[in-house]
Amino acid sequence: MCAEKVRKFDAVIVGSGISGVLIAKVLGKAGKKVLILEAGEKLPPDINSYMNRFLLATAKVPESPYPPELFTKGELTDPGTVKAGRPTVLSLGPKSKDGKKSFGDWTDPTQSYFIQKGPLAFGSTYERLNGGTSRHWLGTSLRFVPNDFEMKSKFHPKESGFVDWPVKYHHLERWYADAEKEIGVSADADEQNYLGIKFSSPYPMPKIPLSRVDMAVDKAMAAVKVPVPGLDKIAWKVSSTPAARNSQPYQDRRVCAGNTNCIPICPIQAKYDPSVTMAEALRTGNVEVWYDSVASQVAVDGDGKVTGIDFLRHNRERGHVTGKIYILAGNAIETPRLLLMSKNNGRTRDGVANSGKHKFVGKYLMDHPLYLAWALMPEGQPVWGYRGPLSTAGIEVARDGGFRRNHGAFRVEIGNEGWNFPIGDPDTTTIDFVNGLNFSQLNPEKKALFGPDLVAALNTNLTRQFRLGFLVEQSPDATNTVTLSDQYKDGLGLPRPQINYNLSNYTKQGLAAAEKTATAIFNSMGANEFTSAPADDDPSSFAWPGSKFGRLKYFGAGHIVGTHRMGDDPSNSATNSMQRSWDHDNLYLVGSGAFPTVATANPTLTLAALCLRTADYLVKKVLK
């Protein structure tokens, strides 16, 4: 047992991601003693070690800059050997067949951290290190639209799946404003006041300018006609995306230099990451972080009071720490995993914060399944991708409307990185034209070029590429779950997360509408669409007769949501609107796992707003 067990804190926080550090900073500034338990390694003195790892990575995936190592001796690292494991997008490959091991087999526990039970693959990943997943986030900081908080009453009054949030837009508005200042968001409030969004104060920095790709999409908007009921009357429009990315010097950080690398790592930290808030929290003198400390149980006494957190060091040394309150700020998979692991010698047989009839912990797992479409502008009309932040604008007008009675809404993210996301370009196209291949579909004659011909072919193709990503609203379904594997463990002997995941008809219809919208936009632009058909054995795809390929593919958006939903009553939720467990009044479950519905925008700003609201409550009402 560690010597630290004798220490007592006002608050013990599990996880140093954005949720944890925002609360730690507020409590620390109020003079409260805070301990953060972080499963991952200590923060290096600067980001160079992460940057160097990225530069040398052959697979520059979102996880590539960060430990643990993705590869061991040329193979994906066996997650059973990793102390603080995490998923990777490389483990979403097809199932092995004919006795031959498939790289990244999504069902292979020696390649996939998640034990994926399907029927479809859950495609989102996260980090477990200082700063959490907001190390590799894009920085998109949109507010939700008011109707996102009222899906049941506005669109689905008779259905059990959709619920209203216990807070509405107007409850969160001032916390949104605080979060925007805290993480440093660049945007123009006059441009963002669509679909009922109102602002009480301006953004702290001016907006990020549009890219040439954004301008080309915007130019075509007026002529877009989408043949989907409910979307056919929309006045399509491009707007600059609010981003936690500096358009001016802010928080002693530099202005964005357009490195086109927000995911996985901004080399100059012009994009906010939680190490910024962590540094401020530590400067209060009231906040400590213990790294290499993997929480393994939330200890609860016979009266339902949380009495401490058990944890394991990577060397398997055990520890226990106590506080007045406990805040679980992992993510929407690791937090339910910890709760479900916490059996307390049978006193909490179904896990902590999981009593009652409905048992919400680990249920209603959601994401924004992302439909990806890509195209090439006509000859002589370059848009010059691979320049600027990864995304600077989007289309937000399809985030709300009566069609939400029938199918998922979506926002459209306009990419500035050519076909990097769709096909791994510029590498794939370059290899095609040097080596006489046609993986990109841009070299149908399979020419192997060199010299000026190679330059010309690459220039004309790479400068005309662009892509659109449609982040589709997923319905809450109780059968999409995080549970514990009873067979597979991590390198510390803790059970790995088991995922059951599927898409409802509501969600699939949303993806189908996205496909049609993409084609309509490309047609309006005069662009030649190159979106390719998914393979039949792609676990992130499903048969859809209405699709042009008879099959639709989706990607994970990294927006892991819903597994400890908040509500206004224990019968419909795991926590109240302050993210306090209904079962344990000194336990808080924070982060996007608290979202009752996934809404229509990237979750980070909203989870930050909720955390600032909870932190204020803790200071004024709980730890006063």
Partner 1 sequence: MRLADPTELSKERETIMTDLTRRKMLTVTAASAATAVGSVNFTEPAVADDEADIGLFVKLSAALTGIDESKLAPSVDPIQIKREYYTKAKKHNPAFDGLMQIIRDDPTHAADAANKVMNNSDKDIQFLGRSIILAWYLGAWYERKNLETPPPTPPVPALEVVSKAAYTQAWTWRVAQAHPMGYSELRFGYWSNEPLPLDTFIKS
CA distance 332 to 361: 10
What is the footprint of partner 1 within residues 134-193 (CB under 8 A)? none
Q: Is residue 372 classed as helix, strand or coil in its secondary structure?
A: strand
What is the footprint of partner 1 within residues 305-344 (CB under 8 A)? none
Q: Which of 386, 544, 549, 617 binds partner 1 (CB under 8 A)?
A: 386
How many CB atoms within 10 Å of residue 212? 15
What is the footprint of partner 1 within residues 389-418 (CB under 8 A)? 389, 392, 416-418
Residue number with CB closer to partner 1 (264 or 323): 264
- Minimum distance between the CB of residue 367 and partner 1, rounded to whole angstroms? 24
The stretch among 302-310, 353-361, 370-378, 455-463 that binds partner 1 (CB under 8 A) is 455-463
B/e letters for 180-203, b = 16+ CB within 10 Å, e = fewer, are bbbbbbbbbbeebeebebebeeeb
Q: Which of 387, 489, 516, 551 binds partner 1 (CB under 8 A)?
A: 387
The stretch among 287-295, 321-329, 432-440, 494-502 that binds partner 1 (CB under 8 A) is 432-440
- Minimum distance between the CB of residue 493 and partner 1, rounded to whole angstroms? 34
Residue 62 sits at the vertex; the CA angle it makes with 424 and 90, to the nearest 5 degrees, is 70
Q: Which of 284, 430, 519, 528 binds partner 1 (CB under 8 A)?
A: 430
CA distance 244 to 204: 10
CA distance 554 to 391: 19
- Minimum distance between the CB of residue 77 and partner 1, rounded to whole angstroms? 17
Q: Which of 187, 208, 370, 589 binds partner 1 (CB under 8 A)?
A: 208
439 binds partner 1 (CB under 8 A): yes
Main-chain dihedrals φ then ψ at residue 557, nearest 5 degrees? -95, -5
444 binds partner 1 (CB under 8 A): no
- Minimum distance between the CB of residue 106 and partner 1, rounded to whole angstroms? 15
Contact 223, 524 (CB under 8 A): yes
Q: Which of 22, 92, 115, 210 binds partner 1 (CB under 8 A)?
A: 210
Beta pairing class for 551-553 and 541-543: antiparallel
- Minimum distance between the CB of residue 111 and partner 1, rounded to whole angstroms? 16
Beta pairing class for 306-313 and 318-328: antiparallel
What is the footprint of partner 1 within residues 50-89 (CB under 8 A)? 51-52, 54-58, 60
Q: Which residue has the tokens 């301990």?
A: 35
Residue number with CB closer to partner 1 (206 or 229): 206
232 binds partner 1 (CB under 8 A): no
Q: Which of 31, 42, 48, 349 binds partner 1 (CB under 8 A)?
A: 48
Q: Which residue has the tokens 């441009």?
A: 191
CA distance 3 to 425: 51
Residue number with CB closer to partner 1 (156 or 271): 271
User: In whole angstroms, how far apart are CA 303 and each of 341, 386, 586?
Assistant: 19, 58, 12
Among residues 76, 50, 77, the alpha carbon closest in space to that of 64 is found at: 50
Q: What x/- string results for residues 519 through 558 when contact with partner 1 is judged by CB under 8 A?
A: ----------------x-----------------------
- Minimum distance between the CB of residue 99 and partner 1, rounded to whole angstroms? 18
- Minimum distance between the CB of residue 432 and partner 1, rounded to whole angstroms? 9
CA distance 273 to 241: 18
Radius of gyration of the chain measured on its C-alpha atoms: 24
Residue number with CB closer to partner 1 (245 or 584): 245
Main-chain dihedrals φ then ψ at residue 554, nearest 5 degrees? -135, 160
The stretch among 5-13, 206-214, 370-378, 483-491 that binds partner 1 (CB under 8 A) is 206-214
Helix and strand totals (H; E) in the chain:
13, 20
CA distance 108 to 101: 9
Sheet holding 391-395, edge to edge: 239-240, 391-395, 410-415, 465-472, 370-376, 528-529
How many residues touch partner 1 under the rule CB under 8 A: the total is 63
Which residues make beta-bridge pairs with 504? Answer: none
Residue number with CB closer to partner 1 (302 or 451): 451
265 binds partner 1 (CB under 8 A): yes
- Minimum distance between the CB of residue 570 and partner 1, rounded to whole angstroms? 46
Q: Which residue has the tokens 């059990």?
A: 160
Q: Which of 160, 193, 201, 435 binds partner 1 (CB under 8 A)?
A: 435
CA distance 125 to 76: 15
| Interface with partner 1 (CB under 8 A) | 48, 51-52, 54-58, 60, 205-212, 215, 247-248, 255-261, 265, 267, 384-389, 392, 416-418, 420, 423-424, 426-428, 430-431, 434-435, 437, 439, 448, 450-455, 458-459, 462-463, 535
